Amino acid sequence: MSAAKDYQDPPPTPLIDVEEFTQWSFYRAIIAEFVATLLFLYILVLTVIGSSKLSDTESHCGGVGVLGISWAVGGMIFVLVYCTAGISGGHINPAVTFGLLLARKISLIRAVLYIMAQCLGAICGCGLAKSFQKGYYVRFKGGANMLSDEYSIGTGLAAEIIGTFVLVYTVFSATDPKRNARDSHVPVLAPLPIGFAVFMVHLATIPITGTGINPARSLGAAVIYNEAEAWDHHWIFWVGPFIGAAIATIYHQVIIRAGAVKALGSFRSSSAV
């Protein structure tokens, strides 16, 4: 019987890695994050506006509805993560970037520039969508995330926290190299479960907050729509995702990967010497 495959974790990424500035791959990754987030918001906003337009005009089609919007968003994330995973890691979301920073998978410099690129890409993507649908963009509120009147701030915040937890936990699980080494007989295309996680979260939380779980997505839509109602509870779409990402990171690294147990075992071994 052949020995089971194993994987040794690489050392944590340095918090500050100035050598990245000398590498073309670093700038290529930032550009990839910008373009991917732009395309994501372009598709998302046009899908939301198109569905609202068909529903408003009482078309026989009736618009794609919540189910169709969820499929479009999840499917687009699947496509974009698949295209950019080998270049930038396929984050397309400041919350994902934040989680990977906490896990020491990327440097602080890369995380900050990724988030800036994602936010700028989201703004440009929403602006592009508005240029295609000028007549309906403001009428249907530009796909901006807003807390529904039927729900409290606490409920909206909890929905964003839990939704982002599902997404970031899926990202860690789908891209865990140790799991891939152990379960190599079960091939998994990582972008697929990530896209499905986004799809399922949208089904659950569109009626509550319109589903943010991505601060860049929420910021881009709010900036281009730029009405007071889009900014009233905008903080929810930053605080919620970052809390959810932090919890998912701690859960995966400490509980699932047994980080605390390994650290304690290492401490005991060194104490016994």
Q: What is the CATH number of the domain that holds 123?
A: 1.20.1080.10
Q: What pLDDT sits at residue 16?
A: 87
- Cα distance between residue 74 and residue 189, in whole Å: 15
Residue 260 phi/psi, 5-degree rounding, is -70, -40
Specify if 273 maps to a domain.
Answer: no
Indicate the pTM of the whole model.
0.88
Q: What pLDDT sits at residue 271?
A: 47
Residue range(s) defining the domain that contains residue 37 = 18-264
Specify if 205 maps to a domain.
Answer: yes
Specify if 10 maps to a domain.
Answer: no
Q: State yes or no: pLDDT of 60 exceeds 80.
A: no
Q: Cβ of 139: how many Cβ atoms within 10 Å?
A: 12
* % of the chain at pLDDT higher than 90: 68
Number of structural domains, the chain?
1
Give pLDDT tens digits for 259-270: 555 555 544 554
Give pLDDT tens digits for 149-174: 999 999 999 999 999 999 999 999 99
Q: Cβ of 186: how many Cβ atoms within 10 Å?
A: 8
* Residues 6+ away with beta carbon under 8 Å from 30: 88, 113, 114, 117
Specify if 94 maps to a domain.
Answer: yes
- Cα distance between residue 222 and residue 243, in whole Å: 21
Specify if 57 maps to a domain.
Answer: yes
Q: State yes or no: pLDDT of 27 exceeds 80.
A: yes
CA gyration radius, the chain: 20
